[in-house]
């Protein structure tokens, strides 16, 4: 793959682009979103860019998907008292802008910012 075709997440994983990393495991990394939509907004990303979206990941490596969810839970326990939203955007019209599967962990909305009915307003 040519350098300019690599996703921004692949470049973060390689250390080419700085990020506020909050978890760095063997197969998964998590870092703060640079455009947060909630008091806590983390991206939980597999270190492989083999999968463009969560459907491909679930079919190709369900254990890696489970690891992403487990890391998200651990981070939510640490940073949001275990209360959070975990969102996977799939496709451009759903808001996916980086086609390297990743989960958005949103939490910390003590002011009701994450209450029911607010999903489309973030």
- Could you list the pLDDT tens digit for every one of the 122 residues in the chain? 455 688 999 999 999 999 999 999 999 999 999 999 999 999 999 999 999 999 999 999 999 999 999 999 999 999 999 999 999 999 999 999 999 999 999 998 655 566 666 554 54
Catalytic residues: 102
pLDDT of residue 122: 45
Model pTM? 0.88
The span from the CA of 112 to the CA of 91, in Å, is 28
Domains of the chain, start order:
3-109 (3.30.428.10)
DSSP string, 38-74: SSEEEEEEES--S-SSHHHHHHH-HHHHHHHHHHHHH
Q: What SS3 state is found at 103?
A: strand
The answer to whether 69 touches 79, Cβ cutoff 8 Å, is no
pLDDT of residue 5: 82
The span from the CA of 33 to the CA of 40, in Å, is 9
Nearest CA among 42, 44, 46, 43 for reference residue 57:
46
Q: What SS3 state is found at 4?
A: helix
């Amino acid at each position: 793959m040519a350098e300019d075709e690599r996703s921004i997440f692949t470049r973060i994983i390689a250390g080419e682009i700085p990020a506020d990393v909050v978890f760095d495991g063997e197969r998964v990394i998590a870092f703060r979103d640079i455009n947060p939509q909630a008091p806590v907004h983390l991206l939980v990303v597999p270190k492989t860019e083999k999968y463009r979206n969560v459907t491909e990941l679930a079919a190709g490596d369900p254990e890696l998907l489970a690891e992403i969810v487990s890391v998200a839970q651990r981070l939510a326990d640490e940073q949001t008292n275990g209360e959070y939203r975990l969102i996977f955007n799939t496709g451009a019209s759903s808001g996916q802008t980086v086609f390297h599967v990743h989960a958005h962990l949103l939490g910390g909305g003590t002011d009701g910012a994450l209450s029911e009915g607010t999903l489309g307003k973030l």
